[in-house]
Amino acid sequence: MTNTATEARSVVVERELPHPPDKIWRALTQPHLIEEWLMKTDFQPVVDHRFNLRGDWGTVDCQVMALEPNKTLSYSWVAMGLDSVVTWTLTPTRTGTHLRMEQSGFRTDQQQAYQGAKYGWQKFFTGLERVVGGLS
Amino acid sequence: MPDARDVIFRTLADPTRRALFERLCREGETTVGALTARAGISQPAVSKHLRVLKQAGLVHDRHEGRQTHYSAQAGALAPLIDWTTEMTGFWQGRFDHLEDLLNRMDQ
């Protein structure tokens, strides 16, 4: 999932933060803290746990997919008809933490059961990039 | 137009349908028969998926004799590009809130 075509359909936001990873991890995983910067939630740091994020504009259905304390956290993000995956990566630096968020579009539950889905998925992005390139 | 976007996202969420659309993007105009030959599903199933893609504006069909040719419609993908732009703005705003929170947690 690292080819450039995949990147084209992903949202990546990164920032250097002057705070240690364990502190940022708390902000990413404790519901009363998540509510302060993201949305109201019943998140629990447990793989397969289903939770919601509730904003003024609607609800996002989520499920924890993977986590490694102070290092990485990913959860599915289903909203407005688009299934996606949000992955947080925390990398310690000399002055704090490099925090990276990547949201990748179009993961679906069906995809997990679909033979060769990953291959097809990458090819989809390759084709999409070609089409999008042809737009301009 | 959230409705149009919703339709496109739902249409492409099906992996079989997405694979068909991807092939049309990659290979250009293709007949239903050629699509079926390598789809691993029946022609009626392929035709059904193509109808859904057409309803979403993602493909265009052209009849020639007994054959129907399908092609991908690039312009229909604009909502997907908009989604990427919107979500980037959303997350940048949330990162700002997160930084504020982290500064407050210091105290």
Alpha carbon of A44: minimum distance to chain B alpha carbons (Å): 18
Share of chain A above pLDDT 90, in %: 57
Which B-chain residues 16-45 have CB contacts (< 8 A) with chain A? 16, 18-19, 21-26
pLDDT at position A83, please? Answer: 80
pLDDT in tens, A60-118: 999 999 999 999 999 999 887 678 899 999 999 999 999 999 988 765 433 333 333 34
Interface size, chain A vs chain B, as Cβ–Cβ contacts under 8 Å: 115
Q: 3-class SS at A11?
A: strand
d(CA B63, CA B43): 16
pLDDT score of A53 more than 90: yes
Task: Sheet containing B67-72: give its strands across.
Answer: B30-31, B67-72, B59-64
- In 3D space, the residue among A120, A73, A83, A90 whose CA is nearest the CA of residue A104 turns out to be A83
Which pLDDT does position B76 carry in this prediction? Answer: 79
Instruction: Say yes or no to pLDDT of A11 above 90.
Output: no
A83 closest CB neighbour out of B13, B21, B81: B13
Domains (range + CATH), chain A: 4-133 (3.30.530.20)
pLDDT value at residue A134? 52
Q: Residue A94 has what pLDDT?
A: 96
pLDDT for residue A5: 31
Q: How far apart are CA B90 and CA B94, in angstroms?
A: 6
Note the pLDDT of residue A9: 62
**Using CA atoms, how far apart are residues B87 and A25, in angstroms rounded to an integer?**
22
ipTM above 0.85, yes or no: no
Specify the CATH class of B2-105 in words: mainly alpha
Per-domain residue ranges for chain B? 2-105
Per-residue pLDDT of chain B (107 residues; tens, 9 = 90+): 457 777 888 888 888 898 898 888 888 899 999 999 888 889 999 999 999 999 999 999 999 988 899 999 877 777 777 778 888 899 999 999 999 999 999 75
pTM for the model stands at: 0.69
